[in-house]
Amino acid sequence: MKFFEYTDEKTLVQELKRPTYDHSKIEKIVQPILDKVKRGGDQAVRKFALEYDHVELDDLWVDQDMLIRAEDEVKIELKDAIKQAKKNITKFHKAQHQEPLEMEVMKGVNCARRSIPIQKVGLYIPGGTAPLFSTVLMLGVPAQLAGCKEIILATPTNKYGEVNPVVLYTANLLGIHKILKVGGAQAIAAMAYGTETATKVDKIFGPGNQYVTAAKQIVSRDTVAIDMPAGPSEVMVVADETTNPDFAAMDLLSQAEHGVDSQAILVSKSRKSILAIEASVNRLVEELPRKAIAKKALEASISVLVKSDDELVKTVNVYGPEHLIFNTEDADSYVDRVVNAGSVFIGPYTPESMGDYASGTNHTLPTNGWANAYSGVSLDSFMKKITYQKITKEGIKALGPVVEHMAEAEQLEAHKQAVTLRLQSLKK
Amino acid sequence: MKFFEYTDEKTLVQELKRPTYDHSKIEKIVQPILDKVKRGGDQAVRKFALEYDHVELDDLWVDQDMLIRAEDEVKIELKDAIKQAKKNITKFHKAQHQEPLEMEVMKGVNCARRSIPIQKVGLYIPGGTAPLFSTVLMLGVPAQLAGCKEIILATPTNKYGEVNPVVLYTANLLGIHKILKVGGAQAIAAMAYGTETATKVDKIFGPGNQYVTAAKQIVSRDTVAIDMPAGPSEVMVVADETTNPDFAAMDLLSQAEHGVDSQAILVSKSRKSILAIEASVNRLVEELPRKAIAKKALEASISVLVKSDDELVKTVNVYGPEHLIFNTEDADSYVDRVVNAGSVFIGPYTPESMGDYASGTNHTLPTNGWANAYSGVSLDSFMKKITYQKITKEGIKALGPVVEHMAEAEQLEAHKQAVTLRLQSLKK
């Protein structure tokens, strides 16, 4: 890990700058895939599945029998764990439900706002060595709670054309039955444009590799909404001399094991604490199966030594981490001063992995500094709000002249006349 | 106006398809402007203001004396109107405030979610013939209510380097004092990247011409968040035989006068009603100062004749209009079936212009079919939500094993160990 001692804000901003990537090369690869699926539909999807995933798919969709039978292949302890996680995620996301807002703004001028489910959503679940069934929970639970009418889940198969049974079990547990056995940009294209068998969705959610990310970025410009811009995963751990160095080290490592571009940042007022945690990191990394990845990620990671609480809070807010762990004695006193972060983990017994899987909060969070403007995925992400107004004769009599003056000043005559005609009819 | 009689959903989708635009040409013009401002700062901004707005700006920012003196140049009736609109918009947006959510998901597992203001926001207000001071209200009121720490308003000057006094008056009324006297892509770049005098903001809001729109689109990919993707303004008017044809016609015209690419759609079960409204449109358009624009827009506009309530509601939801006016006898019965729309105007005395200016709802709404996934601007747009979790010893004892099972199944060993280390320490 690199070491940085706080001097001033400008240097801090420079030191904590994330690497930037040139997406244009990836976009040039992805754009033709999108175009071909847009024109060629299922046939094109099948062709790309063969080309990239080396699998011949007769049916692009998971068979319903297979979906039900997946349960038999999952260990009972894991099923129970998934059910408990589902219960917690459901409880916390259900509480995010917003009642309709209705008010008489002035006599006869009634305004309202209601949350309406986004009708059709697509959930992308990456494949690869580790099946991310936890992401099925994090996206599927709020989609179902929101009341989305159509939910498509897309995920790649192995070379035998099989989807991981834990992913299938979790989807089925949530009542998600439309499972597209396709990954990559071709899956994003199928959901964004629609094909003979895939409905065009309104919004696409979920993580993915650089091709998936680029495809989501491109289709979000003019075709469908997406959950949020993507970037490598991040954690910032704040520690002091009360912090158990092994706890803090393993939290940094659980970020570092995600990928070589994952960012793990340690912040402390105590040099002693930083040295102890770095020693733990160097010892514990050796025990990890993914130690090669973790070590590579650690090379770009940083320890930041600060002198005061102000500098500490500044460091947090300048960086705006996806995950922020306060493993310090006086954690609560800092928490109120955090303005930029995705999710905050407070105290020694709250490692990030608790939130990644089962505390109830969502693990789809803003990375790459987007926490300064974006929220993580929540029930809201699967809904949009429509406003309503209903004005009575009395209401337009009182407020109409206000609108006439303003429309006139903006030189929008028809806007004014739409009110004037109505006011005149009421004088008759 | 074109005429279309509903036959089936597929044809409807085809008929209501919005025109698509190729943005690549505009992006090629805008990209170098963004790059130059990013590198050259204020000096580059000044250069582009001279080149495009033909104005030499010594100071890029509105003088504070000028800001206060603007009040003298605004008529008292207009000031009163703006104050009333501000009052209504404030009332409706203040009611959107969400209390923090706090819950014990299970014994010892405490989760919370709070809304935090986005710290730094930029509001873009177009210039041109008509000063859009109403947009200052629609963006400035929620920005102040949210508690954004820094608010920059950017708007172009006339060729004498002056900002419209009504825009200045409205900004000052809201307590917005940092006013960048610059428009176009260069204004977006200044707020997105920051300059010597402009703070880099976290999110940019507001309408604009095609250059502004393209600039917002580009910077939103990797630099700042934006309010929503932009498109031409739209209204859909639903009418029946009880509808006053002049009312409906003027509502269609108040959309058509916005720009030649504005969309105005009329839907009715009654052919008689459609014919009467079209006759009113043709008569009333002649009286408008912006009749040339309105007539051009009407050429692309459509009247849709439907046979049933089901077809009517289908037409609304397939199109997903920015503004939806139900000027019919049984308006309320339809409203509950609307799932895709920006804002809904109910009954004969609720023209769109009431909401455009003063009813209290926001007029920054999703266009171009984005209403199927996006909400209009609201208090939420100026805030993001952070989640929190705090787990006790008891909590991790109960939930830790769940996380261990799940992390193991996802092959993320450090995620598991972060829990295991803590559980082991509690056994000692």
Of all residues in chain A, the percent with pLDDT exceeding 90 is 91
B250 at interface of A, judged by CB pairs closer than 8 A: yes
A205 at interface of B, judged by CB pairs closer than 8 A: no
Q: Is residue A348 over pLDDT 80?
A: yes
Identify the residue among A196, A257, A406, A428 best suited for mutation to test binding to B, counting B beta carbons within 10 A and taking the highest.
A406
Question: Token digits for B302?
Answer: 């459509």
Contact across the interface for A92 and B84, Cβ inside 8 Å:
no
| CA-closest candidate to residue B196, choices B53, B43, B52, B58 | B43
> What is the pLDDT of chain B when averaged over all its residues?
96
Q: Strand (E) positions, A37-177?
A: 101-106, 109-117, 120-124, 150-154
Question: Token digits for A410?
Answer: 């903006």
Least CB-CB distance to A414: which of B225, B253, B409? B253
| CA-closest candidate to residue A32, choices A47, A20, A17, A21 | A47
DSSP-derived 3-state class of residue B391: strand
Name the helix (H) or strand (E) containing B106.
strand B101-106
Q: What is the average per-residue pLDDT within A365-383?
A: 97
Query: How many Cα neighbours within 13 Å face the side chain of B153?
Result: 31
Q: Is residue B372 over pLDDT 90?
A: yes
Identify the residue among A301, A324, A330, A372 best suited for mutation to test binding to B, counting B beta carbons within 10 A and taking the highest.
A372
Give the per-residue pLDDT at B276. 98
Nearest 5°: phi and psi at B383? -135, 160
Cβ-based contacts of B290 with chain A (< 8 Å): 411-414
Q: How far apart are CA B380 and CA B371, in angstroms?
A: 16
User: Of the listed B234, B257, B322, B352, which one is catalytic?
Assistant: B322
Q: Is residue B45 over pLDDT 80?
A: yes
More confident residue, A129 or B329: B329
B66 at interface of A, judged by CB pairs closer than 8 A: no
Q: Is residue B420 over pLDDT 80?
A: yes
Q: What is the average per-residue pLDDT within B343-362?
A: 98
Q: Would you list the DSSP string of A100-128?
A: PEEEEEETTEEEEEEEEE-SEEEEE---S
Least CB-CB distance to B247: which of A372, A378, A421? A421
| CA-closest candidate to residue A359, choices A3, A85, A43 | A85
Max alpha carbon distance in chain A (Å)? 88
Close Cβ partners of A106 (under 8 Å, ≥ 6 residues apart): A395, A398, A399, B88
Contact across the interface for B370 and A405, Cβ inside 8 Å:
no
B392 at interface of A, judged by CB pairs closer than 8 A: yes
Cβ-based contacts of A106 with chain B (< 8 Å): 88
Least CB-CB distance to B84: which of A338, A378, A402? A402
User: Do residues A330 and A319 make contact, with C-beta atoms less than 8 angstroms apart?
Assistant: no
Q: Strand (E) positions, A333-408?
A: 343-346, 383-391
Alpha-carbon distance B290 to nearest alpha carbon in chain A (angstroms): 8
Give the per-residue pLDDT at B20. 81
Backbone torsion region of residue B347, taken as left when φ is above 0, otherwise alpha when ψ lies between -120 and 50, otherwise beta: left
Close Cβ partners of A35 (under 8 Å, ≥ 6 residues apart): none
Contact across the interface for B166 and A421, Cβ inside 8 Å:
no
Q: What is the average per-residue pLDDT within B123-127?
A: 94
Q: Is residue A20 over pLDDT 90?
A: no
* pLDDT single digits (tens) A64-93: 999 999 999 999 999 999 999 999 999 999
Q: Would you list the DSSP string of B248-311?
A: HHHHHHHHHTT-TT-EEEEEES-HHHHHHHHHHHHHHGGG-TTHHHHHHHHHT-EEEE-SSHHH
* pLDDT single digits (tens) B246-295: 999 999 999 999 889 999 999 999 999 999 999 999 999 999 999 999 99
Look up B363 and say whether it is catalytic: no
Give the per-residue pLDDT at B23. 81
Contact across the interface for B250 and A421, Cβ inside 8 Å:
yes
Give the per-residue pLDDT at B428. 76
* pLDDT single digits (tens) A144-191: 999 999 999 999 999 899 999 999 999 999 999 999 999 999 999 999
Nearest 5°: phi and psi at A227? -65, -50
Contact across the interface for B344 and A294, Cβ inside 8 Å:
no
Give the per-residue pLDDT at B93. 98
Of all residues in chain B, the percent with pLDDT exceeding 90 is 91
Contact across the interface for B257 and A417, Cβ inside 8 Å:
no
Q: Is residue A94 over pLDDT 90?
A: yes
Contact across the interface for A399 and B359, Cβ inside 8 Å:
yes
Give the per-residue pLDDT at B131. 84
User: Do residues B321 and B341 make contact, with C-beta atoms less than 8 angstroms apart?
Assistant: yes
Look up A323 and say whether it is catalytic: yes
B113 at interface of A, judged by CB pairs closer than 8 A: yes
Long-range contacts at B419-426 (CB < 8 A, ≥ 24 apart) = B419/A351, B419/A353, B419/A354, B421/A244, B421/A246, B421/A247, B421/A250, B422/A247, B422/A348, B422/A349, B422/A351, B422/B396, B423/B396, B423/B397, B425/A244, B425/A247, B426/B393, B426/B396, B426/B397
Contact across the interface for A358 and B81, Cβ inside 8 Å:
no
User: Do residues A189 and A211 make contact, with C-beta atoms less than 8 angstroms apart?
Assistant: no
Least CB-CB distance to B422: which of A221, A351, A391? A351
